[in-house]
Amino acid sequence: MDKLTITTIQTELFWEDKDANLQMLEAKIRQIAEKTHLIVLPEMFSTGFSMQPERFAETMEGETVQWMRRLSKVKGAILTGSLIIEENGAYFNRLIWMQPNGQLGYYDKRHCFTLAGEDKHYAAGSKRLITSVGGWLIHVQICYDLRFPVWARQQIHAEDGAPATEYDVLLNVANWPAKRSHAWKTLLQARAIENQCYVIGVNRVGTDGFGLEYAGDTTVADPLGEVLYRQIGVEEVHTITLEKEKLDQVREKLPFWRDTDEFQIF
C-alpha cells in the first residue's frame, strides 16, 4: 500500500474498571467514520496502569481479547493496545495485535517501569515485534520502552547475518504522566529522526488511581521528526494517513541510519 491510515484514541480511563472501559472504548471505536487500517488504544486500556495484576489479569482466551477480536472484525481494521495477561503463572503488560480475521500477534513490554514498581508485578518480555500491514512494517512498543533507543534501533543486519529490513513505523502505546511530558514528546521525535521512520505515540488523558495526571500529547511524527499531529489535554479520536512516498524520499536523499554501528540485542 502506498498509504497507511491510522486512528488514534486518546481518552480518559476508568480506574481498574474493565467493564466501564470496554463499554466506553467500544462506543468510540464504533463512531469512527473514516476507513482505517489500524485503531490504536493506550497502554492497559482496560484498567489503567494498575499494579494489581493478580486481580485484573486475563488469559489470551479471556473477555478483553475476545472483545478485541469482535470489534476488529466489525470495523475491518487491526485493533491494538496493551492489557494485563496471565500466562504460565506470570503476569505481562502485553500488547495485542488483533487482525480482522481473528488472528493475532502480541508483544510483552520489555522495559518494566521500576519507578512505579512494575518490575515487581510483571515479567519483562524478551522479543521485539515487527509486524506488517499491507507492506508497511510496524515496530510496536509500550510506554517506558521509549527511553531505550537500542530497543528501537534500525539494524543493518539481522541475527542470521542477512541484511535487515527497515521498519516504517514505530508505534508506542502509553500511560505517560504529564509531569514528564517533555521527555515523552522529545523522545518520540528523537526516535523518528534516528530511525528515519514515522513514529506514533498514543497516550491517555485524565487522572489515575494514584493521583497521576496525564496530558495525552498523542503524537504523529514524520521521518524527519516533524510533528504531523499532536493533541494535548483532551479526549480525541483522530485519523491520519501516512504516505510511503515521503518515507522513501527521506531515506533515499538522507540515508543516515545506514551508517549506524553494528550491534546485537541479547
Amino acid present at 106: Y
The Cα-based distances of 117 to 47, 147, 159 in angstroms read 17, 17, 32
Catalytic residue among 12, 16, 43, 118: 43
Report d(CA 32, CA 45) in Å as an integer. 18
The DSSP bridge pattern shows strands 38-40 and 78-87 to be parallel
C-alpha–C-alpha distance, residues 58 and 21, integer Å: 15
Catalytic residue among 112, 143, 185, 197: 143
Question: Is residue 43 annotated as part of the catalytic site, yes or no?
Answer: yes
State the catalytic residue, choosing from 18, 58, 109, 118.
109
Q: How far is C-alpha 112 from the chain's CA centre?
A: 15
- For the beta sheet containing 38-40, the strands, ordered from the edge strand earlier in sequence to the opposite edge, are 104-108, 90-98, 78-87, 38-40, 3-10, 236-243
Active-site residues, by number, are: 43, 109, 143
